[in-house]
Chain A
Amino acid sequence: MKPVATTRSAAGIPTGLLAVWWIVASEIVIFGGLLAAYLMYRLSHDAWAGHAANTNTAIGTVNTFVLLTSSLFAVLAHQAAEKGDGKKAARFLLFTIGGALCFLMIKGYEWNYEISHGMTITTNTFWSFYYTAAGIHASHVIAGAIIMAVVAKDAAKGLELQRVELIGIYWHFVDVVWIFLFPLLYIAK
């Protein structure tokens, strides 16, 4: 079914890895552009520190912890896949997905609270950035969780185990984006 092209590795890097790094690189510049724009605005508007004071640092911290834990499970899944244990890898991936769902639920609670207290996307440009950046990040969390479910389904049958590492790389990237968002949106006040 697969073309011969897929099996070659002239550059010495596995093809899947090359593709994932391509995706990660293109995502880095998307978030890079967004965060650079945010920083530019932030540095020229002192009032934003006041707006940022309304974000809930405790919830942000919990969510950071949740995402980091889910990343740990992704690493464990990769280790299991390296050993050829598809079932175990799938189980760890399910834990990772659990982390993602947990993250989204907390996020949903947080947004619900903020919106009901009058801090919406149109309140001011700080909040526009807040919802846009976190929203784009959350959409990546959702996409990652869905892809992980597909990978876990195959991995449980012992198929396509190399994909466990690839989705892991993507997941770490999603994690790292949050590591940048968290201090910029929550801590700097």
Chain B
Amino acid sequence: MAELIPTQPDPGHEDDHHHGEQSFVSKYLLSTDHKVIAMQYMFTGMAMALIGGFMAYAFRMQLAFPGMDVPFFGIVTPANYVALVTNHGAIMIFWVAMPVLIAAFGNYLIPLMVGCDDMVFPKINRLSYQVFLVSAIVLLSSFFVEGGGFGGAWTTYPPLSAKAEYNLTPLGSSLFIGAVGIEFIAFLLGGINFITTAMNSRAPGMKLYDIPMVIWMIVIASILFMVSVGPLLAGAIMLIFDQQLHTAFYDPNRGGDPVLWQHLFWFFGHPEVYVVLLPAVGITAEIITVFSRKKLFAYRTVLNTAIGTGVLSFCVWAHHQFISGIDPRMANVFTLTTLLISIPIAEMMFVYIATLYGGAIRLTTPMLWALAFIFEFLIGGVTGIFLGASGADIYMHDTYFVLAHFHYTFFPIAIIGTYAGVTYWFPKMFGKMMSDRLGKLHFWGTIIPFNFIFIPLFFLGAGGQHRRIYDFQNFPALAGEGMQDLRILATVSLVVMLGFQVVFFYNFIISLMRGEKAGKNPWKANTLEWTAESPPPHGNWKVLPTVYRGPYEYSVPGREKDYWPQDEPN
């Protein structure tokens, strides 16, 4: 841990920030420094990712080898199985993608990339992490209470989630909803800082269109999150009241309506996809420009497509409910809006591909991750069209096709995006270079098995296999030739992929200890964070930078260097 945070004194800020001798606790656990908080979010997120990955391992083993005694887990009972799939989904979205992509990168990058010394409200920032940590602990504790963890899918549809007699987890279900609610509050608190810092604390000279794309994306994502989450928070309070006080908001027998929850949930749930997508898209923008030495193709178009996607994302929620008993006429409207979303997203992909044209592409580890993001997300994007088309969704809904589709969006976002960001900013975060050889080994060891997990699942889905089924032996007519082989292939690939993550952690630790010193700007990048020391001291700069140009002025004709940092006067 000692490497994480710079220890050198920083004379310029000695008066502003009281340093001096600090205990481990006050320095790493109670610090208000945005970089420390970012690391807290990141390591908590990674720890949760390991837990979520282990859950995937346990239930995939059950699917491939029904009834087997899974090593390190034991027999997966039906109750275990539903609890595992439920919490795997919730953890990966709320406790991995959100904290790492929004909170960790947001906290680390916003002050450094807009050129200021910290977040605007450092104490609120610290509070947001602490609230987040509480939410993670509450969630994990739900496994150890009577009845065990909640098993009604991350969508927590009532009446199943509302009554203990249905879900058989009297405490687990309330702890689950409670944890999600607390986690939302943590990110609403975090959002205060993201907006105010990015909007108000920009370095002198930094105009709106000089803000690096990743910062824009995190800001737009925070706004999307804030607007979409409110109704669900209200809905979550109502659900907890139904569970614990026995009100009847969602109880059809006593005047409630269970479908209301679905509307509240998906009004949040669909924008949530873009909340985590946009930061990953932003990270990709930073990386592909640096490693192809190119200006970002049509900066304003990228920004507009992100805003367009955000606005449209509020008009598509019911495509998750086509067959859930809503008025069938509504499906036509939501098919229209859903397919319209393909336009900004496709444009975003075209822009990134166009950026590569005429570049001098260096296939470093972060660049490989960024390119993989574009390619894999493309698969996720095109397979979404099948599901947005109401007619086809009648058949595809809740099959493995859906599952494969959204893993092809969430895996590029949460895993590929994170690895891209970590490998790219690692020199800045820790002052050391990561091993490129190990990095590439880890890259191929993750990407190839990833495709072998989820491509078979597309075929299973096309064959009508539903998700969340404990044991397919109960459905003889559907267990067509080779279906079980495909499941085994997916499971084996998952185990291989999880195994290769060891390479990453090994690389991480070995690079921290013995990595080559990074210097201020190892990638010859333009954005402001690369003008600070690596790692940046508390306060980031002795003299805060001034900005003279946009972030993507690479290979400008007539200049000796092929990059032009934002803070160089000329």
A residues apposed to B, CB below 8 Å: 1-6, 8-11, 13, 15, 18-19, 22-23, 25-34, 36-37, 40-41, 45, 121-122, 124-125, 128-129, 132, 136
9 residue pairs A–B, Cβ–Cβ below 8 Å: A3-B116, A4-B544, A10-B201, A26-B191, A28-B230, A29-B227, A32-B230, A122-B248, A125-B256
Known: A23-B192, A41-B255. 14 other contacts (CB 8 A): A1-B16, A3-B17, A9-B200, A10-B199, A10-B206, A19-B196, A26-B229, A28-B230, A30-B230, A31-B234, A33-B231, A37-B235, A45-B255, A125-B247
Report the bound CA distance from A70 to B236 in whole Å: 31
The answer to whether residues A37 and B246 also contact, given A4-B544, A26-B188, A32-B230 and a CB cut-off of 8 A, is no
The answer to whether residues A6 and B231 also contact, given A15-B196, A122-B247 and a CB cut-off of 8 A, is no
Report the bound CA distance from A183 to B233 in whole Å: 23
Q: Within the complex, what minimum Cβ distance (angstroms) separates B6 from chain A?
A: 16
Whether the pair A2, B16 counts as a contact (CB closer than 8 A) is yes
Chain B residues within an 8 Å CB radius of A13: 199-200
Q: Within the complex, what minimum Cβ distance (angstroms) separates A19 from chain B?
A: 5
Whether the pair A29, B230 counts as a contact (CB closer than 8 A) is yes
The answer to whether residues A11 and B226 also contact, given A3-B117, A19-B192, A22-B192 and a CB cut-off of 8 A, is no
Q: Mark B216-242, 1 if CB is under 8 A from A, else 0.
A: 000000000011111111110110010
Among B121, B197, B238, B247, which residue has the most Cβ atoms of chain A within 10 A? B247
Whether the pair A25, B226 counts as a contact (CB closer than 8 A) is yes
Report the bound CA distance from A95 to B228 in whole Å: 36
Chain A residues within an 8 Å CB radius of B121: 6, 19
The answer to whether residues A15 and B248 also contact, given A9-B200, A28-B230 and a CB cut-off of 8 A, is no
Whether the pair B18, A11 counts as a contact (CB closer than 8 A) is no
Chain B residues within an 8 Å CB radius of A40: 257, 260
Whether the pair B188, A18 counts as a contact (CB closer than 8 A) is no
Report the bound CA distance from A31 to B267 in whole Å: 15
Whether the pair B227, A4 counts as a contact (CB closer than 8 A) is no
In the complex, what residue of chain B is closest to A9 when comparing beta carbons? B200
Report the bound CA distance from A8 to B197 in whole Å: 9
Report the bound CA distance from A13 to B120 in whole Å: 14
Question: Is B513's CB within 8 Å of the partner chain A?
Answer: no
Whether the pair B544, A125 counts as a contact (CB closer than 8 A) is no
The answer to whether residues A18 and B200 also contact, given A37-B235, A132-B241 and a CB cut-off of 8 A, is yes
Chain B residues within an 8 Å CB radius of A124: 248, 254-255
Chain A residues within an 8 Å CB radius of B256: 125
Question: Is B195's CB within 8 Å of the partner chain A?
Answer: yes
Whether the pair B238, A132 counts as a contact (CB closer than 8 A) is yes
Whether the pair A29, B226 counts as a contact (CB closer than 8 A) is yes
Report the bound CA distance from A20 to B231 in whole Å: 19
Question: Is B111's CB within 8 Å of the partner chain A?
Answer: yes
